[in-house]
Structure 1
Amino acid sequence: MIDVHRQGDYPAKTTRKGSNRHRAAPARRTPMSTAARHPGEVLAHKLEGLGVTPTELARQIHVPANRITQIVNGKRAITGDSALRLAHWFGNEPEYWMTLQARYELEVAKTETGSEIKRLPTVSTHTKGTAVKRRAA
């Protein structure tokens, strides 16, 4: 199972231990949508908790040290190769790392071009115009 927590997603709390019958609503927390979280921040946090440096991790997973350092510093994306190696080392799934990267890239894209994209036509506006043209012909 892939366990990726998105900003703003929090599990519901139970009121009694082991009981699903009395679920409270999730706590209201405001996600920090103004700044996307680079997956390198997650990696840095995990490494710090283990007392492992980016250079040591790089040595253990057989990649150049600057690759991990750049990821941790938010200067490089996590690639498929890096995701496979990180997942193997941490004992999780490569999809975990790729999902973090994809969510980061989407958040950045929304910030940079979201308002422009909202003004673009959609398939429903395209097909409505086509149907009118066909009837008139």
Structure 2
Amino acid sequence: MTRNPDRCPTHPGELLREDVLPATGKSKAEIARLLGVSRQHLYDLLAERKPVSPEVAVRIAKLFGTAPLFWIRMQGAYDAWHASRKVDVSAIPTLRNVPGASATA
């Protein structure tokens, strides 16, 4: 199944807020303590006001038994989707056949 390019990817905070944290039965304050981050930082992440940094991704991955790259890629997809709609690239040419460059966008 191909992803709809017009649909914004899910922010990792939404996944944590809607699915992961409720499944633990623990309070947000307890999760913040276990992660070693402030409650405010966790609340900002859950409200999608802050991104998941690589450092926080490592903490989340350890706590929930996942891979850090899962959280980093999820954040990257979210950030890239927004950037591609905000940044004007109309004046930048596309170079073809550059060795080492990926053919996928």
Instruction: Assess same fold via TM > 0.5.
Output: yes
What RMSD over aligned residues (CA atoms) do the two structures have, in Å?
2.0
Using structure 2 for the length normalisation, give the TM-score.
0.77
| Residues 82-121 of structure 1 mapped to structure 2, 5 A cutoff | 82-113=56-87, 116-121=88-93
Note if 1:40 corresponds to 2:18.
Answer: no
Q: 1:82 to 1:51 in 2, by over 3 A?
A: same
| Residues 1-137 of structure 1 mapped to structure 2, 5 A cutoff | 8=3, 31=4, 33-45=6-18, 46-113=20-87, 116-124=88-96
Larger Rg: 1
- Given that 1:58 and 1:68 are in contact with CA atoms closer than 8 Å, whether structure 2 keeps it comes out as yes
- What stretches of structure 2 of length at least 5 have no aligned partner? 97-105
Distance across 1 between alignment mates of 2:22 and 2:5: 22
The list of structure 1 runs, each at least 4 consecutive aligned residues, that deviate by more than 2 angstroms after superposition, is 31-37, 49-54
Structure ranking higher on relative contact order (CA contacts 8 Å, 6+ apart):
2
Equivalent pairs counted in the alignment come to: 94
